[in-house]
Amino acid sequence: MASRRGKAASSDDGAKPAKLNKEAWRKTTRLFRYLKPHIGAFSAGLFCLLITSLLSLAFPILLGKLVNASASDGFWAAPLTDLTNIDSIAKLLMLVFALQAAFGFVRIYLFGLVSENALADLRQDTYSHLIRMPMLFFAQRRVGELNSRISADVALLQEGMTTSLAELLRQTVTITLGITLLTFVSVQLTLTMLATLPVVALIAVFFGRYIRKLSTQVQDRIADTNVIVDETLQGIQNVKAFSNESFEVGRYRSSVLKARDLALKGARWRGAFVSFIIFCMFGVIVFIIWRAVHLKAEGLLDIGDITSFLGLSIMIGASIASIPELVTTMLKAVGATERLMDLQEGTPEAISLAPRKEHLRIEGDIAFEHVSFHYATRADHEVLHDVDFHAKPGERVALVGPSGAGKSTIASLVLRFYDPVGGRITIDGKDARDYDLGALRDRMSIVPQEVLLFGGTILENIAYGRPGASRDDIEAAARKANAHDFITSFPEGYATIVGERGIQLSGGQRQRIAIARALLKDPAILILDEATSALDTASERLVQDALDKLMEGRTSIVIAHRLSTVRNADRILVLDHGMVSASGTHDELIADTGGLYYSLSKMQLSEA
Ligand SMILES: Nc1ncnc2c1ncn2[C@@H]1O[C@H](COP(=O)(O)OP(=O)(O)OP(=O)(O)O)[C@@H](O)[C@H]1O
Ligand SMILES: [Mg+2]
């Protein structure tokens, strides 16, 4: 009972079943693309399904034969083999079971094979689509939601595809074939049965669902009362200090009584359900038998026919009763499919997943030509206005300005996370939009403000800059980044696990790993979003030294917070409310004592 309740609860807070409209149907049919490669196995599975369904119907019929072994009148009189012989019928039954077992195994395995392969393909397709979506897409969605599409929605789909679809097919075959067989036995009796048994079975199903819902509600009520106990015992000081014992007792009492009333309601319905089953279900069966006996008296049926008929009817009734649940699961799967297909219908960035053969050759000349920009999510808020600057190959351009001025936005535009709304960005004199996006980003590196390391070893984290890099190259990069010494001071060296489940590195250490990663990539263009958090002087020097080596010979755009970085820059852009308010070298800018740069360097840069 407990597990059933759990299941009901979890399926309630799972995804809502879909409405079967044209759109849902169109998206669902797109699933067939994933079945197509396995169509052979799928057909074979369907065939086995048909056979097992047929064989399961043979059971009540043979049972009738068994009962009827000596009689020789009625519909089933024509012997299949020697069906007057009890032994041969028993042998035949054993054969039926054996075949059913064999085909059942093959069917389940084949359907599993097809659906697991299809789902694996679907998962991969969805993920590779997802990861190539533009930044705007991620800005509009929560990571949890996207995550649950790949995990929960695929799981719903899996349930729908692996078990429910096959079951639905099986039950449909059982019902149609079963009813057909019944009409051979007796049309009159079949009509009587159809008018009663399925109706009662369906009522029982909905009855049962209602009762399950009630019992979940009772659970919730009981949980409410437990909250009161919890709260008051935790905060017992408050209760006593305010002398509120009687108030709490009253609160608890009314909560307990609510739960009791609901539970009693559930008890009434359960009682009604049992009476209903006894009276209606068995009543109907007795009614059918009564009709059957009358027909027998008229010489239209024999005792074996009646046995077969009852057996078949019960099977059909059970099949019909299982359909609503199966349909609900299927509709949930359709809903999940819709959401997954929505995801696949978004336009991804033009990034090829094929391995890149050679690197794009660029000098690293960057120019912003009257660039203006606003984020699509906030169209009324212009973040950059007429930004114009030029960084020649190998130059170091620093961006300074107050928080929210648009510095990181400029970095995002260089990386082509977004395209400018007005003006254009050129790389080596050519519009950045005319480059292959993947190839262009391949020549850029970013050392971000907040370095996030992946769960894995330090070695793997550095190698992320160039997957497949040799151990020597990785170590060389780490040395240049002033990271080698602290890495080798760990007992496990480069194999030290970092990230969520590993050791935590200090801010300066993380940055040096990120620098090593960027060095390994050897980009033409480097973007540096300096960490705002202050490092101590020792690691500050190590990081700055590593950065200097990293920037050598590359065009660098540095969002600067450190005086040392700004001093050495070839040009400094002072950004204010999305506009370049001044530009020049440190000495030029600092001379203007009324300017923003002067006050910024007094306040912010002197702290570092
Ligand atoms: N994804 C986004 N969607 C909408 N608006 C954004 C987005 N990212 C930034 N903004 C807005 O754009 C403006 C510039 O932000 P940006 O991150 O470029 O500032 P910043 O100069 O890097 O500031 P800080 O020094 O604090 O990092 C801010 O007003 C910010 O609210
Ligand atoms: Mg920023």
- Distance from C-alpha of 28 to C-alpha of 335, rounded to nearest angstrom: 9
Among all chains, which residue has been given the structure tokens 């086995």?
48
pLDDT at 18: 63
Q: 213: number of CA atoms within 13 Å, CB side?
A: 8
Closest ligand 1 atom to residue 410 Cα is 18
DSSP state letters, 328-367: HHHHHHHHHHHHHHHHHHSPPPS---SPP-S-------EE
Neighbouring residues of 534: CB distance < 8 A, sequence distance ≥ 6: 540, 607, 608
Pocket test for ligand 1, best of 373, 380, 409, 558 (most atoms within 8 A of CB): 409
Q: Are 419 and 433 in contact (CB under 8 A)?
A: yes
The answer to whether residues 76 and 65 touch, using CB atoms and an 8 Å cutoff, is yes
- 15-176+325-349 and 360-443+569-608 have identical folds: no
Q: Which residues surround ligand 2, an ion (CB under 5 A)?
A: 408
Judged by its nearest atom, the ligand closest to the C-alpha of residue 578 is 1
Q: Which of 168, 181, 147 is nearest to 64 (CA)?
A: 181
- Closest-lying ligand 1 atom to the alpha carbon of residue 449: 27
Distance 407 CA to ligand 2 centre (A): 6
139 has a pLDDT exceeding 60: yes
**C-alpha of residue 383 to centroid of ligand 2, in Å:** 12
For residues 4 and 78, give the distance between their C-alpha atoms in angstroms, rounded to a whole number. 47
Q: 81 Cβ partners below 8 Å, 6+ apart?
A: 88, 92
Residue 313: pLDDT above 60?
yes
Ligand 1 atom with least separation from CA of 412: 18
* Cα 384 to ligand 1 centroid, rounded to whole Å: 10
Q: Provide the CATH number for the domain formed by 360-443+569-608 in this structure.
A: 3.40.50.300
List, in sequence order, every residue forming a beta bridge with 564; answer none if it has no partner.
none
Packing angle, helices 165-185 and 187-234, rounded to 10:
150
* 530 CA to centre of ligand 2 in angstroms: 9
Mutate to test the pocket of ligand 1, among 140, 382, 383 (most ligand atoms within 8 A of CB): 383
Query: 535-538, long-range: CB within 8 Å, 24+ apart, which pairs?
Result: 535/507, 535/508, 536/508
15-176+325-349 has CATH 1.20.1560.10 classification: yes
Give the distance (Å) from ligand 2 centre to CA of residue 402: 10
Ligand showing the shortest atom-to-Cα distance for residue 377? 1
* 217: its two tokens: 């509600």
Mean pLDDT of 532-543: 72
Averaged pLDDT for residues 61-88: 63
Percent of the chain past pLDDT 70, that is, above it, reads 92
Q: What is the pLDDT of residues 386-427, one digit of tens each?
A: 999 999 999 999 999 888 899 999 999 999 999 999 999 999
Mean predicted confidence (pLDDT) in 246-270: 93
Rounded to whole angstroms, the Cα distance separating 461 from 515 reads 11
Can you give the pLDDT at residue 10? 37
Ligand at shortest distance from the CA of 573: 1
Kindly report, residue by residue over 196-249, the tens digit of the pLDDT.
877 888 888 888 888 888 888 888 888 888 888 988 998 898 899 999 999 999
Q: How far, in Å, is the centroid of ligand 2 from the Cα of 39? A: 52
Residue type at position 369: E
Tell how far the Cα of 409 is from the centroid of ligand 1, in angstroms: 6
Quick one: which ligand is closest to 402's CA? 1
**Nearest-10 Cα torsion for 275, 277, 282, 283:** 60
Cα separation, 199 vs 214, whole angstroms: 23
- Please tell me the distance between residue 131's alpha carbon and the centre of ligand 2 in angstroms: 23
From the CA of 407, give the closest atom in ligand 1: 21
What's the angle, vertex CA 236, arms to CA 232 and CA 241, rounded to 5? 120
Please report which ligand is nearest the Cα atom of 399. 1
pLDDT tens digits for range 296-306: 888 888 888 88
What residue's CA is closest to ligand 1, atom 9? 409
172-201 pLDDT, tens digit each: 988 998 899 888 888 888 888 888 877 888
* Residue whose CA is at the smallest distance from ligand 1 atom 29: 404
Residue with tokens 């240049």: 480
Give the position of tokens 């894995």: 456
Which atom of ligand 1 is the closest one to the Cα of 401?
Answer: 21
The ranges assigned to domains in the chain are 15-176+325-349, 187-300, 360-443+569-608
* Mean pLDDT, rounded, for 43-72: 82
Ligand 1 lining (C-beta closer than 6 Å): 139, 375, 377-378, 383, 401, 403-409
The percentage of residues in the chain with a pLDDT greater than 90, rounded to a whole number, is 31
User: Residue 371 — pLDDT band, cuts 50, 70, 90?
Assistant: very high
Q: First and final CA of the chain: distance in angstroms?
A: 64
Q: Which residues contact 394 (CB under 8 A, 6 or more apart)?
A: 364, 553, 554, 555
Integer Cα distance of 43 and 47 in angstroms: 6
Give the CA angle between residues 583, 585, 589 to the nearest 5°: 65
The two tokens of residue 385 are: 């206005």
What is the Cβ-side half-sphere exposure of residue 607, based on CA atoms within 13 angstroms?
Answer: 10
Ligand 2 centroid, distance to 279 Cα (angstroms): 73
Ligand nearest to the CA of 403: 1
Q: Measured in angstroms, how far is the CA atom of residue 385 from the centroid of ligand 1?
A: 14
| Amino acid found at 17 | P
User: What is the 3-state secondary structure of 482-551?
Assistant: CCHHHHHCCCCHHHCEECCCCECCCHHHHHHHHHHHHHHHCCCEEEEECCCCCCCHHHHHHHHHHHHHHH
